[in-house]
Amino acid sequence: MRVKTFRILLCAVAVMAVSCISSSSSASPVEVGISVSFGPPALPVYEQPVCPGDGYIWTPGYWAWDGGDYYWVPGTWVLAPEVGYLWTPPWWGWENGLFLFHDGFWGPQIGFYGGIDYGFGYFGLGFVGGRWDGGHFFYNRAYVNINEVSIHNVYNETVVHETVNHVAYNGGPGGITSRPTAQEEAVARGPHVPPVSAQNRHAETAMGNRELKASVNQGKPPIAATGRPGEFTGHDVVATREAGGEYHPPADRGAAHPAGGAAPVHASDLHAPRPAAPNTGNAKMDSKYQKQQDKLYAKQEKEQQKLQRQQDEEHLQLDKSKGGDPQRQQMEQRHQQQTQQMQQRQMQEQQHMQARQQPRK
């Protein structure tokens, strides 16, 4: 797998990739490849909730993957992590026969997000829903929903735009054909930061909501957007007006696997990968970071060994009770879910640690 200039997030409880490529450059965080055998549903059509206050940036909703199903992460308003920073949305892209998820990020400029029309100023190229000026964010009321009684940093500026479709991925059959511009490629190499903790918690809450799974809502999630991250109830929650298109997933929608390997079933199939040695150019910091990596690696190995002992014991108990095929199938499905959840969590821990260790410009 070639090194890309953007980060591909390990989605939810998906089956994790076996190869991670790290770089000492702040523009090239950990890359993780996931193979999904079919693309996400079309983007649902919905209204934008009112901006809760000054400094909040709109982050559009998107489809994520949990290892067996797509699920909707509602759009929401998020406080920018730094003055002058804008949000580049995540996107799905088709490459070498795989659907890959590219995580969103914060930075001083908007990067490439697949040419996907998320609406509300994110029309496939850049962002026209607002801009920073003099340390304050100004909202373009032509495209974002604000209360001008409480927010006074506003302007009105329209662009020529027409929503042609609600396709949620780039490339592949029926996908968006846009390619990154030279400027967007430069943004990916420039300074940026991953989603903030409020966004991560928001996505985790969405993953745990059965009604947001595509197999349940058929591309029309009951919660399309929220006023603030993680607030999935209340008057600021917005429902989907209509699905963006018909959704016809294949019968084997759980057939996803990490690029280059089969799906792990048991903890014994896992091997906690050691991240690349820190190379910040500062020997003292490298030593500190290496100790952090060693500590995390040891913790994850203990977790895997504990789960492996638990699963081995359950195998022995089932053999002693002479359980039939239905019981064994249920046990193996449970073991696979446990294993994949652990792998997802551990990969995210490594990803977050390496993101913290990246040199900042």
What is the phi-psi region of residue 124: left when phi exceeds 0, alpha when psi lies from -120 to 50, beta otherwise? left
Where do we find the tokens 């002693």? 320
**What does the pLDDT look like over 106-136, one tens digit per residue?**
999 999 999 999 999 999 999 999 999 999 9
Identify whether 361 is part of a domain: no
Residue 93, amino acid:
G
Q: Say if residue 25's pLDDT is above 50.
A: no
pLDDT confidence bin for 27, thresholds 50/70/90: very low
Same domain, 169 and 150: yes
Residue 297 has a pLDDT of 86
Choose the final residue of a domain: 260, 288, 304: 260
Q: Is 267 in contact with 308 (CB distance < 8 Å)?
A: yes
Last residue of a domain, which of 260, 281, 305?
260
Q: Is residue 204 located within the same domain as residue 121?
A: yes
- What is the rounded average pLDDT of the residues 187-193? 88
Task: Find where tokens 């949620």 sit.
Answer: 168
- Please check whether residues 180 and 278 belong to one and the same domain: no
**Statement: residue 13 has pLDDT above 60:** no
In the structure encoding, which two tokens stand for residue 162, read together?
């027409």
CA 62 to chain centre: 8
Same domain? 190 vs 82: yes
Would residue 182 count as lying in a domain?
yes
Spatial CA neighbour of 103 closest among 95, 117, 92, 94: 92
Do 142 and 282 share a structural domain? no
Flag whether 129 is in a domain: yes
Query: In angstroms, rounded to a whole number, what is the distance separating the alpha carbons of residues 138 and 153?
Result: 5
Instruction: Name the band, by pLDDT with cuts 50, 70 and 90, for residue 261.
Output: very low
What are the φ/ψ torsions at residue 20 (nearest 5 degrees)?
Answer: -125, 130
If one counts the domains in the chain, the total is 2
Question: What is the domain extent for residue 164?
Answer: 20-260
Q: Could you read off the pLDDT of 172-185 as tens digits, one per residue?
A: 889 999 999 999 99
Examine the domain organization and report whether 252 and 303 are in the same domain. Answer: no
The rounded mean pLDDT for the chain is 82
- pLDDT given for residue 225 in this prediction: 98
The answer to whether residue 318 is domain-embedded is: yes
Q: Are residues 243 and 321 in the same domain?
A: no
The answer to the question of residue 255 being in a domain is yes
Pick from 67-76, 164-173, 343-352: least confident: 343-352
Same domain membership, residue 299 and residue 251: no
Residue 253 falls within a domain, yes or no?
yes
Band the pLDDT of 245: cuts 50, 70, 90: very high
Domain shared by 293 and 177, yes or no: no
pLDDT of residue 273: 58
Q: Is the dihedral of CA 279, 281, 283, 288 positive or negative?
A: negative
Task: Calculate mean pLDDT across residues 214-231.
Answer: 96
Whether 192 and 211 share a structural domain: yes
Secondary structure of residue 187 in the 3-state scheme: helix
On whether residue 356 sits in a domain, the answer given is: no
Q: Which of 18-32, 76-90, 275-289, 305-319 has the lowest mean pLDDT?
A: 18-32
């489809």: which residue's tokens?
Answer: 63
* pLDDT tens-digit map of 285-336: 888 888 888 898 888 889 888 998 999 898 888 888 877 777 888 888 788 8
pLDDT of residue 349: 77
Q: Is residue 354 part of a domain?
A: no
- On whether both 251 and 281 belong to a single domain, the answer is no
pTM (two decimals): 0.67
Rg (CA), the chain: 21
CA dist 216 and 74 (Å) reads: 16
Q: How far is CA 21 from CA 61, 93, 311, 319, in A?
A: 28, 18, 31, 41
Report whether pLDDT(259) > 80. Answer: no
Q: Do 289 and 240 reside in the same domain of the chain?
A: no
Q: β-strands 91-95, 98-102: how paired?
A: antiparallel
Full DSSP string of 29-53: --EE-EEESSPPPPPPEEPPPPP-S
DSSP 238: B
- Indicate the residue among 207, 236, 260 that finishes a domain: 260
Residue 274 in contact with residue 297, Cβ under 8 Å?
A: yes
